[in-house]
Every structure is written in C-alpha cells, then in structure tokens.
C-alpha cells in the first residue's frame, strides 16, 4: 500500500491492528496453558476475552469504512514468535511466569502505540465516532498493561526471584559416562 495520504496511513494502521488482535487471540491460549500462576492464568484469560471484544470493535469499524482486512501484522507475529520461544525455553515455572508477563507487555505496548496513532489519525480525519471507539480501546489497553505490571510487582517477580535454580552439571559430570542399568539377575532355579 502506498502511503499517499493520512487516510491511507489510517487504513494501514487499522489493518495492522486487526491482524495483531487475530494473532493475539490465537497465541493467548498457549500462554494461559504455559502459566503456572493462577493469577497470571486469570489475567491472560481476561486479556483473551478483551482481545475478542477489541477484534469485534475493529471489525465494526472496518466494515463501516469499507476496509478489507488482509494485511498481516509482522511486528505482532515477531512478538508472538518471541513469546513461543520463551515457552519452549524450559524455564522454571516461576521464571516462565515472569517471562510471560514481559512478553504480554511487549505485545500490549505495541497495541497501545497502534491504537494511539490510529485514534489520533481518526480524529484528524474528522471521524470522531472511530476516534472515540479507539480511545476507549486505548484506555482499556493501558489499564490491562497496568494490571500486568501490578501482578508482576506484587507476586510473579518475587516468586521468580526466590525460585531455586537447578544446579548446572559441572564439566566433569557432563563428560562422565552415564551408569548403565544393571544386568538382570540370573535365576537360581
């Protein structure tokens, strides 16, 4: 898409946000499953429900404005890929919870920036209905980010800090042959 006008930019931003929300809806269940903290699972589940509502609103806006939603949000795809890598990292559960919050906040900050820009552009284009809807979403995103921060500061990060790391094997232990299973005893009968 060529960005010849503010309207073109606004349209591109809405497409990106729509894609970002769709990708997030697919990724959040994996994050919920990976979380060990009940508080974090609840927070991520609530964000999944909120993302579905945000997608519904964006769908309404795009339909009203005649915007076809076929663009993929590459930045959100990258953030989700990074989150998947954290889940596969075999971290201690308490540390993984802290990593999941960090990943969720990166995604949230990307959305906050996108909704803020789109809201401003809608306002400058004279579309106050869309501007107000995007402002509502922006406010909700900021509140969700704050709740993640509070969860991290009140519970998750302290649990991660006090989790006992597994001792790494020494170089000598890694080189030592592993004991084999004992041979079955012969029957005396």
CATH number at residue 64: 1.20.1260.10
Any domain includes 182: no
Output the six-digit token pair for 93: 């559960």
Any domain includes 10: yes
Segment (H or E) for 165: none
What integer best gives the mean pLDDT of the chain?
88
Residues 6+ apart with CB under 8 A from 89: 96, 99
Higher-pLDDT residue of 162 and 20 is 20
The tens digit of pLDDT for each residue in 102-150 reads 999 999 999 999 999 999 999 999 999 999 999 999 999 999 999 999 9
pLDDT confidence bin for 185, thresholds 50/70/90 = very low
Any domain includes 153: yes
* Angle, CA of 127, 128 and 130, to the nearest 5°: 70
The tens digit of pLDDT for each residue in 17-59 reads 999 999 999 999 999 999 999 999 999 999 999 999 999 999 9
C-alpha span between 131 and 110 (Å, rounded): 18
Counting the structural domains of the chain, the total is 1
pTM: 0.82
**What pLDDT is stored for residue 172 in this prediction?**
55
Q: Which domain holds residue 129?
A: 6-164
Any domain includes 185: no
Any domain includes 88: yes
Any domain includes 184: no
Any domain includes 189: no
Any domain includes 171: no
40, 100 Cβ separation under 8 angstroms: yes
């Amino acid at each position: 898409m060529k960005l010849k006008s503010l309207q073109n930019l606004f349209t591109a931003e809405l497409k990106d946000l729509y894609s970002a929300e769709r990708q997030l809806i697919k990724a959040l269940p994996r994050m919920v499953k990976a979380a060990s903290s009940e508080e974090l699972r609840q927070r991520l589940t609530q964000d999944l429900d909120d993302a579905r509502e945000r997608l519904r609103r964006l769908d309404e806006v795009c339909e009203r404005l005649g915007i076809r939603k076929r663009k993929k949000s590459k930045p959100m795809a990258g953030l989700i890929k990074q989150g998947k890598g954290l889940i596969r990292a075999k971290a201690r559960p308490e540390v993984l919870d802290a990593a999941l919050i960090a990943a969720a906040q990166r995604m949230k900050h990307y959305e906050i920036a996108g909704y803020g820009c789109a809201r401003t552009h809608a306002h400058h284009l004279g579309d106050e209905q869309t501007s107000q809807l995007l402002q509502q979403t922006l406010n909700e995103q900021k509140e969700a980010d704050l709740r993640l921060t509070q969860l991290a500061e009140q519970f998750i990060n302290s649990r991660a800090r006090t989790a006992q790391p597994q001792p790494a094997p020494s170089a000598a232990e890694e080189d030592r042959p592993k004991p084999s299973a004992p041979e079955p005893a012969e029957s005396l009968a």
